[in-house]
Structure 1
Amino acid sequence: MTARPVVPGFHPDPSICRVGDTYWMVHSSFEYAPGVPLYRSTDLVSWEQVGHVLARPDQLDVSAAPGSGGITACTIRHSAGRFWMITTNLADGGWQTLVTAEDPLGEWSAPVRMTEVRGIDPDLAWDDEGTLLVTYAGFDADGPAGVVQQAVDPVTGAALTERRHLWQGTGGKFPEGPHLYRVGDHWYLLIAEGGTERGHAVTIARGPSPQGPWEACPHNPLLTARGTDSPVQNTGHADLVQRPDGSWAIVFHGVRPRGTSPEFHVLGRETFAAEVHWDDEGWPRLGDWLTPPEDGREVEELAGGDLPPAWVSPRRFPADVITRVEGGWQLVAADPDTGSEDLAFVGRRQEHLTCRARVVLAAGDGVGGLSVRIDARHHLDVAVAGDVVRAVAHAGPFRSLLGERTVPPGDVVLEVRAVPCEGHFSSTALAPDQLVAGVVAADGGFTELGRLDGRYVSTEVAGGMTGRLIGVWCSTGSVLVRSFSYAGRDTPGEWS
């Protein structure tokens, strides 16, 4: 099966709505700021990032978020002439965050917090009387409580009803990610279950009201890859959308694992899409996947006066550590007194199975360079310190110097490549890829400093829910970033 994501790289938990001929989609962002990336499309296949929903510090505080903490799954809806987005912030004690906007490309409102709605993956729906219903994966003192629901005042965030249990799913662990729809005479409840790993699945039930009682679809699961040899695994956490012509589609996330068993994924959970057809009994059935063409990409970023919308930082906003100055972007090391385990890092998602990232730095008194990271404890850094460039791998508590080289005075060009790993599938040495770090000379020649088995910058080793980011970092003083370029494709090939 050929299946490519419609939004590649770390873009999990998609939620979608349509207004007119335009689709809008949001994703989880966890510890990164700005939060909740916002995309738009007119065909469900080609998507453009147009910003973030939680784009201001008054809307988002993830300073205390651990790795894969902070912002979890979101829901976006359009009702009464406004866009609505709800998500959970597990890092600041306020639980649910609801924001609205008349124009999604403008500023979204200050958040309404729902401190009595305790759980994750909140959904937005309105009953026939116009009451806002928040359906979510509830928490009890002893763990998950299944899919539950409360009526909520959208102005104050106060709960109007006690929590009501809706559905436990079909028996898979962690019933979560609910979405509620009115289709014809029925209310449909779509959920994820089985955990977001290899057992992930999408199931659906229906009932006469938004509170049920619920009848499970006899054909469940609607979507899963468990136990198959599909190149896309962990498929789940979906949302349905109706097209202008009345047909339906579904967006969902999945991963593209590679390497030896148990296999490793490095890009995080990516967003895919498929057709949906309704059978004669009124149940949705999965159709063909919507697959964009091969999308090799080469972009020059950090070339203008504004950061591209895809650039983010862990636990702080990029403006806290990087500013535009004459000759480039100045990246300043984080204050060591904050106690954060993060260095100053600003970057963008790795979107392709093979890629090359290149940064031009002005050598100075600071220490910093180019980094591929999955979290604060698992990353590959290429660092300039005076007249020496070093490639250093970090895997949990372990640190390894892969190689170093003296460079002449002036600007330094650093490069990291993600390239296929060669080997037999039965070999435990077969990695998802190899990360190759090096220096580029004035004549364009590449000198390798060292390489790292890509599993050490993968979700299976690091744990958590995110994917790789590639960007610039600084540990001491400041560095001046002249330029940054990214090139990627999914088919193997040599980088010149």
Structure 2
Amino acid sequence: MQRATKYGPIRLKRWRHNILPNSRASMMSGLCILMVVVGLLAAPGLAHAQAINPFTAARDTAQPVTYTNPIIPGFYSDPSVVRVGDDYYLTTSTFEYFPALPIFHSRDLVNWQQIGHVVERPEQLPEGVDIYAPTLRFHDGTFYLITTNINRGGNVIMHAQNPAGPWSDAVWIDLPGIDPDLFFDDDGKVYSIGSDFELAQINPQTGEIISRSGPVWATTGGRYAEAPHLYKKDGWYYLLAAEGGTEEAHSVTIARSHKISGPYYSNPANPILTHVNRAGQQNPIQGVGHGDLVEDHTGRWWLLFHGYRTVIEGGVHHTLGRETMLAPVSWPAFGWPQINGNGTVTPTMQTATLPLKPIATAARSTDFTAPLGLAWNYVQYPAPERYRLDEQAGTLTLNATAGVLENPGSQPTFIGQRVTDPYFTATATLTFTPAAHEQAGLTLLNNGAHFDIMLVNVAGEINAQAILRFGEVEHRSKAVPLAGDTTNLVIKGRRDHYEFGVIEDNQYQKLETVSARYISSETVGGFTGTYIGLYTVSPHSLPTPAIYSKFTYTKDQESATVSDD
């Protein structure tokens, strides 16, 4: 159940001290106290450490621990979190990628491990997937997930006994707006509220609408208000929201009411999280917003939210998508929550946390001798005949159609993973003898824009070539003849640039270098982030199979430069 433990009223002891000069001792005692108070007020940095929000308490001064934002790197946007005992579960939006809605598990809110997906069978959502922000909740032994599937223009709810799956087929709910929330109240009633801020009582098993009420909050006036979440604490209903759009003006705001049906009154210190102000403008993390609050099992509060890391020095371009981040929350009884003391966050966070429990990092590389891991995704539902994993031979064979990467609706033959690091090297070993107009290779993909290093047919010979496509722009590198039909294709990420090349006879040859801005979300649009993946395209009814025998992805040191191999 996603609500706070109710705290009793705070009892403040009134402290009195007599500083009247009835004796020399009392005079000196009073003078010492006065000097201490004056000294504290004049101490450097004290004013900065005081809470900006006058309606909340100051930051926790417990011994800090260091962790790094993002806590889940790569395109994992719109996070929603729920606690069950000492365990925490989280999901994010996935848009056109399948399997959809990853489920992560943690014991400390910092280290997360993926354990499954909510949507892993096409029959769960027969219309296809284009999944916006979800809400994950737990009540009375059952996990619930509510979200928006834009392909049908509506909201759906699913449930499971085990968060790792399997999850039920989707039940459609006749609710307006996007980003629906799910709230279980003390009286047994269940509510949902979406981006139009209309409140509805629902049956979470059947999707039945029991009652509706008009908008309960007008928000603070920021554009694109969305992502509402309801919480109950100290007799108040709190309503969290995101405003300002998903770019630099993104923010988190909050309101509260004594009744779930409102009216809700805004926090005088809104927004409680944003980097659009002076304090956050030069921060390497931008676009912070879309949060979900959770109380840990020690009684401390946290905000899970997304933001993005900029890749162009002094600019706002980002390529990795909106990534999941974590910030501590001060939330006194009967007061307003305050995020990280001043409503901003940093890449390196120092705060008291739960005892950290590191987990093993999932393998990103494969020789295709075992089933593919949870990190792999397709664009829309895959046609099984296009993908054949032969674990005995150690190969993944892709069979092409005319579907192209620049049109996700054409269901291109593609399988890939999220890029999670500004500095990385990805390689793929490919055997391919292309016919005319066929291609296969390694691609960097973001919202239909893609940069490829591939094998093509040039005058009857096998050539390697880099092609960059974004919008109506296409750029081709020189084509390099290869000695055979098997080669290693390479893409290197170097924060603000990418490099494309091949390795043949243990010799690396660079074909092209391109600025990251051309595949950034600011250039290509959309709400996702870059994927690195394997693909093939053919106009022929009997396409040439593209046989991959190895894929590697490694995070590189930030000191790495282009052509450093």
> What TM-score comes out, normalization by structure 1 length?
0.88
SS at match of 1:437: strand
- Write the distance in 1 (CA, Å) between the matches of 2:468 and 2:560: 24
Which one of 180, 190, 197 corresponds to residue 132 of structure 1?
190
**Partner Cα separation in structure 2 for residue 225 and residue 391 of structure 1:** 37
In 2, distance between residues paired with 1:472 and 1:333? 11
* Equivalent-residue separation in structure 2 for 1:340 and 1:283 (angstroms): 45
Match of 1:380 in 2: 451
Q: Distance in 2 between matches of 1:240 and 1:96?
A: 22
Alpha-carbon spacing, 1:62–1:395, altered in 2? closer, same or farther (3 Å): farther
Counterpart selection for 2:102 from 16, 21, 37:
37
1:470 corresponds to which of 519, 524, 532:
532
Aligned to 1:254, what secondary structure does the other structure show?
A: strand
Hey, what does 2:288 align to over in structure 1?
A: 235
Q: How many Å apart are 1:111 and its aligned residue?
A: 1.2
Greater CA drift, 52-61 or 486-495: 486-495
Q: Does 1:363 align with 2:432?
A: yes
1:51-90 correspondence to structure 2 within 5 Å:
51-61=116-126, 63=128, 70-90=130-150
1:173 counterpart residue number: 223
SS in 2 for 1:58: helix
Judging changes above 3 Å, is the alpha-carbon distance between structure 1 residues 380 and 132 closer, same or farther for their aligned structure 2 residues?
A: same
Residue of structure 2 in register with 1:311 after alignment: 376
- For residue 120 of structure 1, give the secondary structure of its aligned residue in structure 2: coil
Q: Equivalent residue for 2:399?
A: 332
The CA deviation at 1:367 is: 2.5
Please give the per-residue CA displacement for 1:390-431, whole angstroms capped at 9, x wherever unaligned: 1111011121112321112242100001114xxxxxxxxxxx
Q: C-alpha displacement at 1:112, in angstroms? A: 1.0
The equivalent of 2:500 in structure 1 is: 437
Report the equivalent of 1:11: 76
Q: Which runs of 5+ in 1 are unaligned?
A: 139-146, 421-432
Larger Rg: 2
Question: Structure 1 residue 453 and structure 2 residue 522: aligned?
Answer: no
Further displaced range: 328-337 or 25-34: 328-337
Counterparts in 2 of 1:489 and 1:283: CA distance versus 1, 3 Å: farther
Structure 1 residue 148 displacement after superposition: 1.8
After TM superposition, the structure 1 = structure 2 runs for residues 66-465 of structure 1, keeping only pairs within 5 Å, are 70-93=130-153, 95-114=154-173, 116-138=174-196, 147-227=197-277, 228-259=281-312, 262-279=315-332, 281-287=334-340, 291=349, 299-301=364-366, 303-317=368-382, 319=384, 321-325=386-390, 326-334=393-401, 340-341=409-410, 343-365=412-434, 367-376=439-448, 378-385=449-456, 387-420=462-495, 433-443=496-506, 445-465=507-527
- In 1, distance between residues paired with 2:323 and 2:478? 33
TM-score w.r.t. the length of structure 2 is: 0.78
* RMSD of aligned alpha carbons: 2.5
Q: Which amino acid aligns with 1:375?
A: N
Question: What amino acid sits opposite 1:89 in the alignment?
Answer: N
- 1:34–1:317 CA contact under 8 A, matched in 2: no
1:488 to 555, 558, 561: 555
Greater shift after overlay, 477-486 or 402-411? 402-411
Distance 1:125 1:280 in 2: 21
Q: CA deviation at 1:296?
A: 10
Query: Aligned partner of 1:331: which letter?
Result: L
Which one has a larger percent helix, Structure 1 or Structure 2? 2
The residue matched to 1:456 in structure 2 has which SS? helix
1:134 corresponds to which letter in structure 2? S
Distance change in 2, residues 1:261/1:229 (3 Å): closer
Determine what percentage of the aligned residue pairs are the same residue: 32
Alignment coverage as a number of residue pairs: 466
Shift of 1:466: 0.7
2:32 paired residue number:
none
Shift of 1:31: 0.9
Structure 1 position 482, deviation (Å): 0.5
One-letter code aligned to 1:481: Y
* Counterpart code for 1:188: Y
| Deviation larger for 175-184 or 163-172 | 163-172
> In structure 2, do the counterparts of structure 1 residues 489 and 79 end up closer, same or farther at CA, with 3 Å as the change threshold?
farther
Name the CA shift for 1:319/1:237 in 2 (closer, same or farther; >3 Å). Answer: farther
Alpha-carbon separation, structure 1, partners of 2:501 and 2:340: 45
In structure 1, the residue matched to 2:30 is none
1:257 Cα deviation after fit: 1.4
The equivalent of 2:42 in structure 1 is none
Query: d(CA) in 1 for partners of 2:143 and 2:274?
Result: 30
Residues 99-129 of structure 1, C-alpha deviation per residue, up to 9 Å, x if partnerless? 1111112301111111x21210000002233
The alpha carbon displacement at 1:451 in A equals 1.4
DSSP 3-state at the match of 2:560:
coil
Deviating more after overlay: 393-402 vs 82-91: 393-402
